Amino acid sequence: MRNAFADELTKLGQEDPRIVMLSGDIGNRLFDRFKEAQPERFFNCGVAEQNMMGVAAGMAMNGLRPLAYTITPFVTTRCLEQIRTDAAYHEAPVTVVAVGAGLSYAGLGPTHHACEDISFLRSIPNMVVLAPGDAWEVRAGLRAIMQQKRPVYMRIGKKGEPVVHDGPIADFEIGKALTLANGSDVCILSTGNILPEAMEAGRLLDAGGISTLVVSFHTVKPLDEACLRNAFERYERVVTVEEHSVVGGLGSAVAEWAVDASVDTRRLLRIGTPDKFFKLSGTQKFAREQLGMTGHQIAHRVSATLRERDSAA
């Protein structure tokens, strides 16, 4: 995802003279082509994220379209007040790009894990919160962001994730979820880099006789309310899947919406990381297994809740 981001950014940088790239001393060689093409519009801001975010806001207040990029905790919680006060309060169109969403950098330890960021960012007025599900969504999302005039938060994974879409997404819109697999019993709403596992869960459920719709719910704010209404009206289970804490992420956003919209909230199943730090060493795959986030485990939990309902009936 990060390579797709850098590649698409390089293309956009040639088309749009307002685009400025700010890096928090990260992405070794990743932005070489951007730097080569636009040397006057790339800034390594050093390990100083508060200043980087303020600089980005100051640029955006003066007609530019800066992107501020580094590892998720450092470009979110480290400088959250700058995002809130400098970018969002001023309605300055800064794009905050967080690499290493969720457990992408599991092996680097909890200092580098990012399972709380959606919670913080979506509570800030004026922010758009985007969590693309694969490299093609990153590319389409980035282009869509540059058509916006608002501050945007985009969390992306690392490199080498499986690609879900077949190619460029022609009809990508911020706030409009994308259907990736059709089904009639269960609706999986996946946000962000967990999408390949959600797709696997859908395939496994289908194979077990549970027809499953899989949706890439790439925009956590604003919510695609039409998609949600359809999901709660037509599906026995609506399952949110995210590599993010069950506190404050997509599942929480959908639960809040569902209560306010008076839909049947008993249909909602929220799958995310638990409200605790994951302290063991190991790969993202290992961490997902430990936390019940693999496709197989997701499918198992969904079918288990359907069985509970059947036995209660």
Residues of this chain that interact with other proteins (CB under 8 A) are: 20, 40-41, 43, 45-46, 48, 50-64, 66, 81-82, 85-86, 89-91
Give the shortest CB-84-to-other proteins separation in angstroms.
Answer: 9
Residue 20 DSSP SS3: strand
Give the shortest CB-312-to-other proteins separation in angstroms.
Answer: 52
Give the shortest CB-64-to-other proteins separation in angstroms.
Answer: 5
Cβ distance to other proteins smaller for residue 43 or 257: 43
Strand ranges, E, within the chain: 19-23, 42-44, 65-71, 95-99, 128-130, 152-156, 178-181, 186-191, 212-216, 219-221, 237-245, 268-273
**Could you identify the residue written with the tokens 């590599």?**
243
Cβ distance to other proteins smaller for residue 7 or 25: 25
Instruction: Supply 187's token pair.
Output: 């609706």
Instruction: Supply 200's token pair.
Output: 């696997």
- Bridge partners of residue 57, in order along the sequence: none
Strand ranges, E, within 109-151: 128-130
Give the shortest CB-63-to-other proteins separation in angstroms.
Answer: 7
Rounded Cα gap, residues 131 and 125, in angstroms: 18
Give the shortest CB-13-to-other proteins separation in angstroms.
Answer: 12
Instruction: Supply 104's token pair.
Output: 């992408």
Cβ distance to other proteins smaller for residue 48 or 163: 48
Rounded Cα gap, residues 69 and 205, in angstroms: 37
Cβ distance to other proteins smaller for residue 60 or 271: 60
Rounded Cα gap, residues 248 and 231, in angstroms: 20
Give the shortest CB-95-to-other proteins separation in angstroms.
Answer: 14
Cβ distance to other proteins smaller for residue 43 or 278: 43
Cβ distance to other proteins smaller for residue 63 or 209: 63
Among 71, 137, 140, residue whose Cα is nearest residue 101:
71
Q: Are 185 and 102 in contact (CB under 8 A)?
A: no
Give the shortest CB-110-to-other proteins separation in angstroms.
Answer: 23
Give the shortest CB-54-to-other proteins separation in angstroms.
Answer: 2
Burial class (CB in 10 A: 0-12, 13-18, 19+), 61: middle
Rounded Cα gap, residues 95 and 24, in angstroms: 14
- Bridge partners of residue 191, in order along the sequence: 242
Instruction: Supply 163's token pair.
Output: 């690609």
Cβ distance to other proteins smaller for residue 78 or 218: 78
Cβ distance to other proteins smaller for residue 26 or 61: 61
